[in-house]
Structure formats: structure tokens, C-alpha cells
Structure 1
Amino acid sequence: MEIIKNRRTIKAGVYLVIDPAMDEAVLVKKLEDALQEEIAALQIWDHFLPHQNKAKLMEQISALGHKKNVPVLINNRWEYLKSTPLDGVHFDQIPEHYNKIKQSVNRPFIAGLTCNNDLSAVRWATENNIDYISFCSIFPSATDTSCELVNFDTIRETRRITSMPVFLAGGIKPENINKLNELDFEGVAVISGVMGADSPSQAIKTYSKQLKTKTT
């Protein structure tokens, strides 16, 4: 296991989420292409296949991300932080016994939390020094079917509560990013918009270009 000497940090831009149930050879090839462009972070969705060698795949993905100094996170399964070189965990909901989780991991790690229209999650994240939050779902999405649509006023109110990095997720495409111009956020989380593209690197480049032209 890699010893993490310097804690990687999440940048602004495209936060890439990948599905480990994708054919592994295709997944690795697309990820290598995606990492030709700068991204904010890389998250492994908790969507493994039965009997899949999870630890081995997480180590392979971590190695690819770390070559580019990109932090690699796991979705929900924080226990893997104890046995793999993952940089952190993204929780889909407020975790129970978070202090015990930190004690169990026993090393610094990045933590993120999915939020919706309930601002109590934002307040919890702030009080517990979570590194970033992600709002889901911004637009209707075939991938984020479990998320309610987020009211833009919720995101505006969040900025009055906290200055932590905010990412937006769910149905976001380069052609609708301009609908987010009035909001203050650091980046967008994308799954199929990048990994479903013939050229993931070109897709990231397109997203990044649109994000850079956004005005707040």
C-alpha cells in the first residue's frame, strides 16, 4: 500500500465519477485518456460487480490518479481507506458515528457529502469540517435517479452558511452549464458525460471550457 505523505486536495473543475462495473479494460483505457486533462478529483462509485477484486481495482485506479496528483475517493465504503491508498471517501448521506470512522481510519483523508434541499446536511458538513459538498440532482438525470431536484435557492443559501467548496451533480452537460451562471460553485461532478464519450479527455476539455466562461 502506498504511504500517503502529502495530503492531496480537491481542485476546482470537473469532478469525475467512474463506474467500476464497466468492463475493466475499457474503464482503465478511458480513465487514462480522461487523465490527460486536469480534473478536480476522481471518485469510484460504490457499484462493484459480485466477486470483483475491489481492492486490486481501487489500487490500480489510485495509481493512475496519483500519477497526475489527482485525489481518488471511494463512494461510501470508508473502510477501504484502511487497506488501500485511496485519498478519501464521499458519503451519500450523513454517516453515523463519524468520529469513530476517523479514529478507525487513523490517517488524514478527504471527506465529501452529498446534499439536497435539506440544509441540515450542509450545517453538519460545516460543523464537522467536511472538505466539500456536492448537490444532487441539479437537472433530471438517468444516472442520479435517487436524488431529488435541488432548488437553486438552496445553493444560494449554502453560500451564506459556509465557504467550503461546492460541486453540482446530476444531468449537467456542457450545453446546460450556462443555466448555472447565477450560482457560486467550484465545479461539476460528471459520470456518463465523460466516461460515456468516445474521447473522455475531449469531453473534459469541453466541460472545462464551459466552466471557465461561467460568470457568478
Structure 2
Amino acid sequence: MNGLHGLYAITPDGLHGRELLERAEAALKGGARVLQYRDKSDDQARRLTDARALARLCARHQALFIINDDVELCRASGAGGVHLGEDDTALDMARARLGAGTIIGISCYNDLARARRAAAAGADYLAFGAVFPSSTKPGARQAGLELLRQARRELALPLVAIGGITPENAPSVIETGVDMVAMIQGLFGQPDITAAARAVNQQFQAFRGSP
């Protein structure tokens, strides 16, 4: 699927306004193909302002913009898609609300049966993790490298690996055959975000050739 390969950047908590845009642009300049806006706060007005600004930024960089969890924010901001976890809007309800042209990704954690159901229900991509221990979600279920390999053997949809991935350990994840690696602190916690993003995309190219 067009655009669903390479680095999948997810914004960290606590970034807003100009700082959020500057750091997001640094990731996009490094070659991030997907940017997900993840903000769990209740400030709806600020979230909409930030999401619309990020949507414009992604459009300039020809990257896919995804909203975490919030179907209505996806609609209002002009995002290209939404990412849903097990406690969020059901996939069929999100599809009915957003339409066939919107990308819908599903968190599958370490559950291949959930992934199979999501694929059958019309998901556009499937995410597995945490691959490694993660500071963002320290209690997350673990989905190791062998599970990623098994998912690649069984599932035709684009696959995303998430959880504790850094430029240093990304090669071992990329070797499993996943289409994307999602990074939060492993990317935005780096002193040079653009260089970190570029390094991960170079690792993808080294294993698979240029997209």
C-alpha cells in the first residue's frame, strides 16, 4: 500500500504548538513516511489546532498523517487515517464514519487471532508490540521478533512493529519482514531527530532496496 513502508513516527506526550511542529518536521525531513498524532489530553480545541497544522505539514512532505484513537478528530483535521486500539471505536463503526478512502490501522499487541480478525474486517495495516520494553508503555504486552516473523508469514497486510525500537535495534526488527517500524522516544528523544529518522530509513533500504 502506497506510503505504508519505512519509518512510522508517533508524537510523544507533552508536545504542543510550535515545538510539536518543529520536531515533527525534523522527523519528516529525515524521511518518516507516516506521522501519528498521539495526544491523550482533554483539550479538544488545542488538539484540533495541532492536528490541522500537522495535517498541512504532512501534506507538504507527502507523508501520511494518522490520528491516534479519535475518529472525530480524524474527520475534523483532514487526517489521512486513524489508528485504533482494543478499547477504541470498533473498526466497522470507524469505517462507516470515515469512508473507504481513509486508512485504518489496528493495534494487535501480541495477538495473531486479533490480527486475523482485523484483516478480515477491512483493516489497512496491523501493528504488533511491544517488541522491546518501552518507556511509553512500561506494562505493555510483549510481541517478540519471532511473533513478527510469524505474522509476516501469515498476513498479507502491511505490518508495523512498535515498542522500544531505536535506531540501534531497528535492524533486528526490519529483518523480520515488517513494513514499518514505529518510534516515539526512540526517535523524538534523540539529539538529532532528522539524523535518527534518516538512519532508520537507510536501514530499510539496506535490507529491501529503495521503496
Q: TM-score scaled to structure 1, two decimals?
A: 0.85
Give the 3-state SS of the residue equivalent to 1:83 in structure 2. Answer: helix
Report 1:110-129 matches (<5 A). 110-129=103-122
Larger radius of gyration: 1
Q: Which runs of 5+ in 1 are unaligned?
A: 1-7
2:180 counterpart residue number: 187
Structure with bigger helix share is 2
Point out the more displaced range, 139-148 or 98-107: 98-107
Amino acid at match of 1:98: L
1:173 counterpart residue number: 166
Within 2, Cα distance between the matches of 1:95 and 1:47?
A: 12
CA-CA distance at 1:182 after TM superposition: 4.6
Within 2, Cα distance between the matches of 1:18 and 1:69?
A: 18
1:148-175 superposed Cα distances (whole Å, 9 cap, x missing partner): 1113332222223211111111111122
Query: Does 1:103 find its partner at 2:103?
Result: no
Within 2, Cα distance between the matches of 1:126 and 1:107?
A: 15
Amino acid at match of 2:28: L
Within 2, Cα distance between the matches of 1:192 and 1:151?
A: 19
Measured at CA, do residues 76 and 164 of structure 1 come closer, stay the same or move farther in structure 2, by a change above 3 Å? same
Q: Contact 2:130–2:162 (CA<8 Å) still a contact in 1?
A: yes
The percent identity for this pair of structures is 24
Within 2, Cα distance between the matches of 1:55 and 1:102?
A: 21
Point out the more displaced range, 179-188 or 37-46: 179-188
Amino acid at match of 1:200: I
Query: Does 1:18 find its partner at 2:11?
Result: yes
Query: Could you say what the CA RMSD is over the residues aligned between the two structures, in angstroms?
Result: 2.3
Q: Contact 1:94–1:121 (CA<8 Å) still a contact in 2?
A: no
Within 2, Cα distance between the matches of 1:56 and 1:101?
A: 22
Q: 1:34 aligns with which of 24, 27, 33?
A: 27
Q: Number of paired residues?
A: 208
Q: Contact 1:46–1:77 (CA<8 Å) still a contact in 2?
A: no
Give the 3-state SS of the residue equivalent to 1:28 in structure 2. Answer: helix
Q: Contact 2:174–2:181 (CA<8 Å) still a contact in 1?
A: no
Report 1:46-85 matches (<5 A). 46-48=39-41, 50=43, 53-85=46-78
1:209 counterpart residue number: 202
Amino acid at match of 2:135: A
Q: Contact 1:11–1:39 (CA<8 Å) still a contact in 2?
A: no
Q: Which runs of 5+ in 2 are unaligned?
A: none
Q: TM-score scaled to structure 2, two decimals?
A: 0.87
